[in-house]
Structure 1
Amino acid sequence: MNTNSVKLGLRENWKQFTILVIINGFVGGMIGMERTIIPQFAEEEFGIASKTAILSFITVFGITKAIANYYTGRLANRFGRKNLLLFGWLLAIPIPFILIYAGSWNWVIFANVLLGISQGLTWSSTVVMKIDLVGEKNRGLAMGLNEFAGYLAVGLVAFLTGYVANKYGIAPYPFYIGIFISVIGFVLTALWVKDTRAFVHKENATDTTEELKNVFMESTFRNKTLSSVTQAGLINNLNDGMIWGLLPILLVSLDYNHENIGIITAIYPTVWGIGQLFTGKMSDNYSKKAMLFWGMLAQGLAILLIPFSVGFYLLVSLSVILGLGTALVYPTFLSTIAQTTSPGQRAESIGTFRLWRDLGYAFGAVISGITADFFGIDHAIFLIGALTILSSMIIKFRMPGSVFFKEEMT
């Protein structure tokens, strides 16, 4: 594509942007397929009772997705965003078949290795491509729309699989949904997605952002803005890994059926997804630091209250608060990184952030699983809630800018 014909902006590229939003909905749906039913699947199909063993599927998912995120960022400029997106979908197609015919828990682990790699390639590619298309003005809105589509799909498919499992059994029918999602995602990408590297070259020509000397070290440790965002991303997914793995088990112990478990577990990512329609645009106009601080604090407080909650509507309310807190931070993470880094380094910096963020799934699964096995699920939830509140304090005291006013990150 000739850079002279390239125009940055959401309005100018709305057709391609809309296709990518739809595709990211299918990407999120692949996680939603597992969100409600895998912990029960482990117990009912394979007789696994250990919380650490059950959460092993989240551990391998988090590690492989994190590594894939990092290399997607590094390889996007070399091989093209579309090629990585297409390869990610190719890896997704076998996953539901493996889960349907799994003869042992090791096959479920293998399916989640593939799911982690696939999610890293597909989700990271759609994030980077949307940022490429819109330019500087509407990055927050772009990320809000992207994450809205992905996490709304997580919630809707989580509810749908819970409903199907309650009506027809834990396997194989819920996994048929995954077959449909992966095939359609691959076809849409192959036929209608266009690569966006030319948009990066266009933006580079006028961008004055100072380049980072070492993207990995600056994003992880040195740059106060980037490192604050990175640690919060890790903790956000650490608590999400705990919610994913332990909340369904806790609800089973409270005698909730599959359908009600599906409702409670689906509300959190659904609110998270819908909320980003608003919080993404908010991050273009309000203090990013404030949104990150209050979002992490709300998550931590909601998590701490879960062990004291038994009633259906109280658990639904906490799930809503957790979703709202996550909605405040998720698009803001990415728009902050996009604002702080140069166009040529943006994909690698986002890849580094997403490496650490999705390692949070693994850390969350291991920490909460071991704590639950030795001290009980309630103590595991308390620990994760406390770590989430600590993360909000790091945002408040380390990240430059004001918690109360809009500011430019430095």
Structure 2
Amino acid sequence: MRESTIALLVLATEVFIGSATGIQRTILSIEVSRTLGVALSLTPIVTFGIFKALADYFAALLAQSRGRSRVLRLGALLYAIGALSVLLLPQPFNFFLGNVLIGAGEGFVFAASAMILRSLLGLEKSALSFSYIESACYLGYALGAYAGGAALVLGGSAAPLLLIAVFSISALVVSLRVREVKKAEQFSGEESWGSGEKFSLKLIYRNPSTLSALLAAHVAKTADSIVWGVLPLFVVARGWGSYYAGYAQALILVMWSLMMPFWSYYSDRVGRKLISTAGLLFTAGLLLLLPSSGSPAETLLVAMLIGIGYAMYYPILPTPVADLTPPGARDVAIGLYRAVRDSGYFTGALLGSMLLSAPGDHIRETFMNTGVLLALSATTFSVIFRETRPTWPFLDLVIEHVKIIRDVLRLHIETIRCFFEGRQSEMEENVKRIKTLERRADTLKREIVWRIWSSLLPSSGRAEFEKLVGEIDKVAGAVLESSERLLWAKRGPELTRAYELLVGMLLETERLADRLVENLKLLSLSPLYAVRAAVEIDAGERRVDELRTELIHELRRLVNEGKIDTLTFLSLVEVANLIELASDDFQDAADLIRVIAYRHAATPLR
């Protein structure tokens, strides 16, 4: 089965499950309040939240041993049984007991869907993959919310419950067609940099970026669950009817669904912090404004804007966990994130019930207090969070600078070949070309430094990048001097082994340049992977040292046996020292990249 077909089937399963839950977003608090009163109208959300949070985490563990598609089908089956319970059991117990299975089923389905789609899209589009997952879910929520309100008006209390059962059974049928994708331990491309690393989930709680994302996500879901339950009560209390309650819920959810890919696309390019913080603050302001809406049109407009605000942070908050977790542990880490986030359903239902029990205009105060809570969460997040998808306007120029230095190394290899093969004129021509490349590198270095310090936008790591460019620029000077030193030496057949070792040193140093280019690209993709790539550069520098030591022993043997003269010995030793100095400069550059990665919340790998 093609990957695109698998993705479409997974998304269709999510839409059906979301539609079934969306119906409850309209009718649940209205129906329960008729039998238990307004203060207890949110309590079924408690059971939904508890079991969804548990399923979020255990889905990742089951997926590792049983496969992701099986977890998806298990979730769809549990949801269908829960939906039939809601349909067949007497009210209000149907909502309490049915939502145990519905919460668990939705948790399994959405967690498995997230794992499958992330596996298909990869790390580079991590925010976009989360947005596809959540967009399908909330598109279903929107369809269900509108259908639930219309069905309640047109067909009475039984009609929405029958729709829930129909949607859930449809999800189960579609899920049976989904086939397994690659296993969690199969990685390629950028993912290979983090594979095979041991990772403790405790680091998620110790890292300021992942911890602040967890807290913000929990509070955001708390606010969402309160809006879920209280908005229909607000609309009905104003005398506008359950149709407008479903309409308002649908507007929130459809805008939420449609805007998530847009914000996620830019989050993968400009970073996580700014968009998430703005979305949290924007939503908080709208919740403070919502009770003041005096007509259905005003309420629907605010509801539409709330959906846009939700979309700004909801698919982005999980991405720091993905950015900073090795791929082998990512499913479990995201499962933990989803569990913490979705336990906000539980917190929101309890907090909402307490606020609704308060004297006075309890619905108005519930929205106001929720808005204040969300604003405090946004402020805390903005202070604690360190960007995990950093961007720098000068990064492409830095990479270009390293590539020029790599070209210098390649020319130097050819220069050494010309020396040992007696092609003197070609050797001298290559030295001139190296000088030209060095001048290009110097010019580019000056432009980079100007870009680093002239940008109006705040940019972390400016001093480190300036030092990094300086370290790389030293390589060109060392290589140029090394090429010129060759002109002082005499070639001969006795230098065959020395030639092999020199070329080996240069090839290894060229690989260091390649690693550094990859390291710089990884830096804006995942600080964690940049740290891992820096370790590879350390290992390469050690290999250059070993080759240099062997070369000096060989040259010392030759000079002691009188096979080469002293000037040739000293010249070739200096050539080797300069190449080794170039590899040291690459290692120093990698150390600076490591410092920048640590500033962006990466942790050392064991």
Give distance in 2, aligned partners of 1:114 and 1:249.
Answer: 25
Alignment of 1:48 with 2:48, yes or no, is: no
**Percent same amino acid among aligned pairs?**
23
Structure 2 residue matching 1:93: 3-state secondary structure: helix
204-213 vs 324-333, which deviates more?
A: 204-213
Is this contact kept in 2: 1:372–1:378, CA < 8 A? no
The match for 1:92 among 31, 54, 79 is 79
156-165 vs 397-406, which deviates more?
A: 397-406
The match for 1:389 among 363, 375, 390 is 375
Q: CA deviation at 1:15?
A: 2.5
Q: How does 1:143-162 map to 2 (within 5 A)?
A: 143-162=130-149
Give distance in 1, aligned partners of 2:374 and 2:154.
Answer: 36
Is this contact kept in 2: 1:212–1:341, CA < 8 A? no
Give distance in 1, aligned partners of 2:330 and 2:136.
Answer: 22
Q: CA deviation at 1:315?
A: 1.1
Give distance in 2, aligned partners of 1:205 and 1:64.
Answer: 32
Give distance in 2, aligned partners of 1:251 and 1:205.
Answer: 48
- For residues 310-330 of structure 1, the C-alpha deviation after alignment (integer angstroms, 9 at most, x for no partner) is 211221121122111110112
- For residues 90-119 of structure 1, the C-alpha deviation after alignment (integer angstroms, 9 at most, x for no partner) is 111123322223224233201011111001
Cα distance change on mapping 1:405 and 1:344 into 2, 3 Å: farther
Aligned position for 1:123 = 110
372-381 vs 347-356, which deviates more?
A: 372-381
Is this contact kept in 1: 2:110–2:133, CA < 8 A? no
Q: CA deviation at 1:307?
A: 1.8
Aligned position for 1:276 = 260
The match for 2:183 among 186, 198, 205 is 198
Give distance in 1, aligned partners of 2:308 and 2:191.
Answer: 38
Is this contact kept in 2: 1:296–1:325, CA < 8 A? yes
180-189 vs 298-307, which deviates more?
A: 180-189
Query: Which amino acid in 2 is paired with 1:201?
Result: Q
Query: Which amino acid in 2 is paired with 1:49?
Result: G
Is this contact kept in 2: 1:159–1:266, CA < 8 A? yes
Q: CA deviation at 1:145?
A: 1.7
Query: Which amino acid in 2 is paired with 1:24?
Result: E
Is this contact kept in 2: 1:145–1:280, CA < 8 A? no
The match for 2:213 among 229, 238, 241 is 229
Aligned position for 2:16 = 26
Aligned position for 1:35 = 25
Larger radius of gyration: 2
Alignment of 1:371 with 2:351, yes or no, is: no
Q: How does 1:57-72 map to 2 (within 5 A)?
A: 57-72=44-59
Is this contact kept in 1: 2:208–2:385, CA < 8 A? yes
- For residues 244-278 of structure 1, the C-alpha deviation after alignment (integer angstroms, 9 at most, x for no partner) is 11111111110011111111121111110111131
Give distance in 1, aligned partners of 2:104 and 2:89.
Answer: 19
Is this contact kept in 1: 2:248–2:303, CA < 8 A? yes
Give distance in 2, aligned partners of 1:274 and 1:405.
Answer: 30
Query: Which amino acid in 2 is paired with 1:37?
Result: I
Is this contact kept in 1: 2:145–2:249, CA < 8 A? yes
The match for 1:241 among 225, 228, 234 is 225
Give distance in 2, aligned partners of 1:179 and 1:13.
Answer: 29
Is this contact kept in 2: 1:212–1:218, CA < 8 A? no
Cα distance change on mapping 1:296 and 1:205 into 2, 3 Å: closer
Give distance in 1, aligned partners of 2:318 and 2:50.
Answer: 20
Give distance in 2, aligned partners of 1:211 and 1:367.
Answer: 40
Query: Which amino acid in 2 is paired with 1:383?
Result: N
- For residues 64-97 of structure 1, the C-alpha deviation after alignment (integer angstroms, 9 at most, x for no partner) is 1111111112222112111111111111112332
Is this contact kept in 2: 1:309–1:315, CA < 8 A? yes
225-234 vs 130-139, which deviates more?
A: 130-139
240-249 vs 193-202, which deviates more?
A: 193-202
Give distance in 2, aligned partners of 1:159 and 1:25.
Answer: 14
- For residues 155-201 of structure 1, the C-alpha deviation after alignment (integer angstroms, 9 at most, x for no partner) is 111101111111111x211122222222221121112x122243641
Alignment of 1:138 with 2:128, yes or no, is: no
Give distance in 1, aligned partners of 2:171 and 2:458.
Answer: 40
Give distance in 2, aligned partners of 1:272 and 1:393.
Answer: 22
Q: How does 1:242-321 map to 2 (within 5 A)?
A: 242-321=226-305
Is this contact kept in 1: 2:191–2:327, CA < 8 A? no
Give distance in 2, aligned partners of 1:396 and 1:205.
Answer: 28
Is this contact kept in 2: 1:21–1:149, CA < 8 A? yes
Query: Which amino acid in 2 is paired with 1:317?
Result: L
Give distance in 2, aligned partners of 1:199 and 1:226.
Answer: 21
Give distance in 2, aligned partners of 1:115 and 1:340.
Answer: 31
Structure 2 residue matching 1:394: 3-state secondary structure: helix
- For residues 354-397 of structure 1, the C-alpha deviation after alignment (integer angstroms, 9 at most, x for no partner) is 11101111111111211211231222222111110111112210
For normalisation by structure 2, the TM-score amounts to 0.62
Q: CA deviation at 1:213?
A: 4.3
Is this contact kept in 1: 2:44–2:96, CA < 8 A? yes
Give distance in 1, aligned partners of 2:116 and 2:109.
Answer: 11
Query: Which amino acid in 2 is paired with 1:118?
Result: G
Structure 2 residue matching 1:370: 3-state secondary structure: helix
Alignment of 1:173 with 2:163, yes or no, is: no
Give distance in 2, aligned partners of 1:27 and 1:364.
Answer: 22
Question: Unmatched 5+ residue regions in structure 1?
Answer: 2-11
201-210 vs 246-255, which deviates more?
A: 201-210
Is this contact kept in 1: 2:87–2:94, CA < 8 A? no
The match for 1:13 among 3, 7, 12 is 3
For normalisation by structure 1, the TM-score amounts to 0.90
Is this contact kept in 2: 1:77–1:197, CA < 8 A? no
- Number of residues of Structure 1 aligned to a counterpart in Structure 2: 393
The match for 1:400 among 386, 391, 397 is 386
The match for 2:172 among 163, 186, 192 is 186
Q: CA deviation at 1:19?
A: 2.0
Cα distance change on mapping 1:214 and 1:172 into 2, 3 Å: same
Structure 2 residue matching 1:333: 3-state secondary structure: coil
Is this contact kept in 1: 2:67–2:183, CA < 8 A? no
Is this contact kept in 1: 2:87–2:165, CA < 8 A? no
Q: CA deviation at 1:342?
A: 0.9
Give distance in 2, aligned partners of 1:131 and 1:323.
Answer: 24
Aligned position for 1:347 = 331
Give distance in 2, aligned partners of 1:321 and 1:328.
Answer: 11
